[in-house]
A and B are shown apart, each in its own frame.
Chain A
């Protein structure tokens, strides 16, 4: 079972996205303890799109229960290629006075989920991020580029 919804590219839509994940988790029996990390990843990906993408078309989110967890797919039409799994590293050892908040969101994504994969379709100008979160013991997630080339 899976369910999907589309969302306009506005920051204030985040509340609708969180309401969607809450309802989808309940309907599909996904453990609620996973939701904060899933919401975090969705917020970082979605706000990145709102801030930096030029497209106007709504962004689609699909949620599907898997064994002990959930698989989430975020599809962005009218997209430029930007592989979120290849974001520049962030030096988290710097003292506070030298810290800048930028880039932390993408740095944290692979650390909060089991896997995250990016795919881009040149023909359709469509990007897709697929990530999985399960109840397994936390460990730095695998990142890759085989998120598919079709939207």
Chain B
């Protein structure tokens, strides 16, 4: 995970229950409109959804938000079936 501020945060690999704590700790440091580049994020579980939700709610409370770009098909399905596509700004990948 790298980036932040004006630079998109690049997520890579798998955001599962073993990675959620570290991901949350990193995202907790960011403010404003935070863009997550998901082009290299291959896998997401409900633990990852929890990280995104907690981060988005915190940012909303301070006038910011979370947005995701380059989201693959697996992630799109997860976001769609969980209703997260209605609460997060999501840009599909190619």
Choose among B43, B54, B78, B81 the residue that contacts A101 (Cβ–Cβ < 8 A).
Answer: B54
B47 touches A96 (CB 8 A): no
A12 touches B46 (CB 8 A): no
Choose among B17, B81, B87 the residue that contacts A96 (Cβ–Cβ < 8 A).
Answer: B87
Q: Give chain A residues whose Cβ lies under 8 Å from the Cβ of B57.
A: 96-97, 99
Q: Is the interface of B mostly helix, strand, loop or mixed?
A: helix
Is residue B82 within 8 Å, beta carbon to beta carbon, of the partner chain?
Answer: yes
Inter-chain CA distance A112–B77, complex, in Å, is 8
Q: How far is the CB of A110 from chain B (nearest CB, A)?
A: 9
Query: Is the interface on chain B under 10, 10 to 19, 20 to 34, or 35 or more residues?
Result: 20 to 34
Q: Which residue of A lies closest to B85 (CB)?
A: A92
Count of residues in A whose CB is under 8 Å from the partner chain = 28
Q: How far is the CB of A117 from chain B (nearest CB, A)?
A: 19
Inter-chain CA distance A93–B14, complex, in Å, is 26
Q: Give chain A residues whose Cβ lies under 8 Å from the Cβ of B50.
A: 101, 104
B residues whose Cβ falls under 8 Å from a Cβ of A:
14, 16-18, 42-47, 49-50, 53-54, 56-57, 60, 74, 77-78, 81-83, 86-88
